[in-house]
A and B are shown apart, each in its own frame.
Chain A
């Protein structure tokens, strides 16, 4: 089966946030109305956005940015969630195998049962997406992020459906299909936008981090939408996993080997120095 992906067309998004709501509902993440009676002190932060940021129960969030856009003030919407990178730093640093690259769909899968809560993925994700739930003080935590509707028992992809966010989108700002097909569609869309005069229109996600599985059609440059212009695989992740850890195994192994060798030689040397005593003892 071909790799799958989501294509988000920011020019079609109305920020209705139906995707945000259905994401919580399908994935059973605090499906409550954030009011005082449910213990949520919701307050005006001077923005149409809500909640403030991604959190363990908010895997998807629509952001809105007021920015200068082709010479006038505009209100740009964007979709924030796991990008399902091909070169996923979170998978690289995950010590328990809870995070993995899904071989069927190409997405970044997550087996919550295997998560030990170390939070390395939180620190190494270039897009600042994974969130920890639980007490970081006690260390009893678990990571939480978008799994593109592949939770066991709630797996829409295996059942042949699109992710819940795509299904619910009323303006077709979200599309789900084979990644190759979506790339062709996105390129057409960007070409059309450029023809309309949006000269900075961008297709984002084709090559970034080996290719994202959430791609973007934007009618301006990615930085205007709050996206990383050139996301990098963190060098510390490579240095740690590919350099330091193998060195660690080598150092540990050679130390034990060296000590064993020393024991054999030193024992022999000691015996040869005091042959009568050793024999008597035996």
Chain B
């Protein structure tokens, strides 16, 4: 954890953090109101369709929030989207070393990581891809209900469910790693306050740390 006099590095900007929190709340509401369809015994909660209305309000927020971010911070948004699709050999190294790290607290095998480590990037990749799938299939079911051919709507329901299962299961992993896992110390501060300690940046995001500090030095040199 970052102490008072410790040097800190900004990991997530304020805009990014606000987007994260809005999206979290929207997703959890969508998750719970959608979960009712998996549990017939909870069907009574959806009577008079009110959970369906809540689901739509949350869906609107789920769609509008990232679009707003894209308009206000286009550079950051595009950079982040690129990050989700940039995979290299450090990622393979990370995947090999991850079991020992997460189970046995053995950090030795971990190759230096960028702004996001491979695991975070995997989750971010899932959020982008399945988020898009959610929105696409959801909009078809929402706006083209009874208009689109039944066979199309059948596959939309199916795809929406697959996205629900993948993201739902991975959400547990995400929350667990960010909040509960014994080895995780920096991630919570990074998403709440936006900063991580310099030490943590060096040890957990080496590549990114070099990149950021390198830039800083060059900027200083210019001025």
Contact = CB atoms under 8 A, between A and B. Distances in A.
- On whether the two chains bind one another, the answer is yes
Nearest to A255: B169
Given A97-B40, A255-B169, A262 B46 contact: no
B145 A252 contact: no
B85 interface: no
A137 B50 CA distance: 13
Contact of A255 (B43, B50, B173, B181): B173
Contacts of A125: 150
Given A118-B37, A234-B154, A266-B183, A259 B173 contact: yes
A16 interface: no
B105 A270 contact: yes
Given A116-B47, A252-B169, A262-B103, A123 B154 contact: yes
Contact of A139 (B37, B43, B49, B166): B49
A280 B8 CA distance: 27
Contacts of B168: 248, 252
Interface in B38-55: 38, 40, 43-44, 46-53, 55
Contact of B43 (A97, A234, A236, A247): A97
Contacts of B173: 255, 259
B183 to A, nearest CB: 6
Contacts of A245: 38, 161
A123 B49 contact: no
A155 interface: no
B-side binding surface: helix, strand, loop or mixed? helix
Interface stretch (A19-27, A68-76, A80-88, A128-136): A128-136
B180 interface: yes
Given A236-B155, A248-B164, A139 B182 contact: no
The interface size bin for chain B is 35 or more
B165 A132 contact: no
B95 to A, nearest CB: 16
Contacts of B164: 248
B185 to A, nearest CB: 11
A113 B48 CA distance: 8
Contact of B53 (A140, A237, A247, A262): A140
B87 interface: no
A240 B157 contact: yes
A265 interface: yes
Interface in A131-156: 132, 134, 136-142
A171 interface: no
Contacts of B50: 140
A92 to B, nearest CB: 12
B162 interface: yes
B217 interface: no
A209 interface: no
B181 A95 contact: no
Nearest to A117: B49
Interface in B47-104: 47-53, 55-56, 102-104
Contacts of A140: 48-50, 52-53
B49 A124 contact: no
Contacts of A256: 172
B103 A96 contact: no
Interface in A96-139: 96-98, 113-114, 116-120, 122-125, 128, 132, 134, 136-139
A124 B53 contact: no
A263 B145 CA distance: 44
Contacts of B49: 116-117, 134, 138-142
A158 B49 CA distance: 30
B153 interface: yes
Given A117-B52, A139-B55, A273-B105, A244 B161 contact: yes
Contact of A251 (B40, B105, B169, B182): B169
Given A118-B37, A141-B49, A262-B181, 15 more contacts: A95-B43, A96-B43, A114-B47, A116-B47, A118-B46, A118-B52, A123-B154, A132-B145, A136-B146, A139-B52, A140-B49, A142-B49, A240-B154, A248-B38, A248-B165
3 tightest CB-CB pairs across the interface, nearest first? A96-B43, A139-B52, A116-B46
Interface of A: 95-98, 113-114, 116-120, 122-125, 128, 132, 134, 136-142, 234, 236-237, 239-240, 244-245, 247-249, 251-252, 255-256, 259, 262-263, 265-267, 269-270, 273
